[in-house]
């Protein structure tokens, strides 16, 4: 597993907290898929993550934003998307 960048560690902690995951945040591989094979999240989880992101970073996720499938493809992609759009 490749190592987490600072923002990735922060987003990993946010995901673990929002979804009450039993995985520890530093165990999330930044390049593994969040849904399906990787963490095995589902579409309800996507909504919970979106809510946590809007509270922490002050912006809203959208379906037509770039490519949603890509944003949620991995912790790395999601974190990069947050870096680009965060308001605080």
Partner 1 sequence: MLEGTPTAPLTSRAAGAVMFRRGAEPVTCGRFLADVAALAARLPDRPYALGLCADRYNALVSFAAVVSRGQVMLLSSDRSSRRRREIAADYPDLYVLADTGEDPSWEAPPDAVRVAPAAPAGAIGPNPRIPLGQVAAIGFTSGSTGVPGAHPKPWGALVAAAEAAGERFNLNHPDGQETTVVATVPPQHMYGFETTMVLPLHAATASHAGPHFFPVEVAEALHAAPGRRVLVTTPLQMRALLGSGQPMPKLQAVISATAPLEASLAEAVERAWQAPVLEIYGATEMGSIASRRTVEGPLWRLYRSVGLRRRTEDVVAAEVAGLPEPVPLADAVELEGEECFRLLGRRTDIVKLGGKRASLARLNALLNGIEGVQDGVFVVPEDLDRNPAARLAVYAVAPARSAEAILAALRQQVDPVFLPRAVTLVPALPRDSVGKLPQQALAALRRQLAGTA
Cβ closer to partner 1: 2 or 40? Answer: 40
Q: What residues between 13 and 52 interact with partner 1 by CB under 8 A?
A: 18-22, 35-37, 40-44, 46-48, 50-51
Buried b (16+ CB within 10 A) or exposed e, 37-61: eebebeeebbeebeebbeebbebeb
Q: Among residues 5 and 80, whose Cβ is nearest to partner 1?
A: 80
At 77, list the tokens.
Answer: 């992609």
Interface pick for partner 1 out of 1, 24, 70, 86 (rule CB under 8 A): 70
Q: Which residues, in sequence order, are bridge partners of residue 29?
A: none
* Sites of contact with partner 1 (CB under 8 A): 18-22, 35-37, 40-44, 46-48, 50-51, 54-55, 60-64, 67-70
């Amino acid at each position: 597993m490749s190592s987490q960048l600072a923002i990735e560690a922060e987003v990993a902690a946010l995901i673990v907290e929002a979804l009450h995951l039993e995985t520890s945040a530093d165990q999330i591989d930044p390049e593994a898929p969040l849904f399906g094979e990787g963490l095995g999240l589902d579409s309800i989880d996507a909504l919970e993550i979106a809510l946590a992101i809007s509270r922490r970073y002050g912006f809203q996720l959208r379906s037509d934003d770039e490519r949603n499938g890509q944003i949620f493809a991995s912790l790395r992609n999601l974190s990069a998307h947050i870096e680009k759009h965060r308001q605080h």
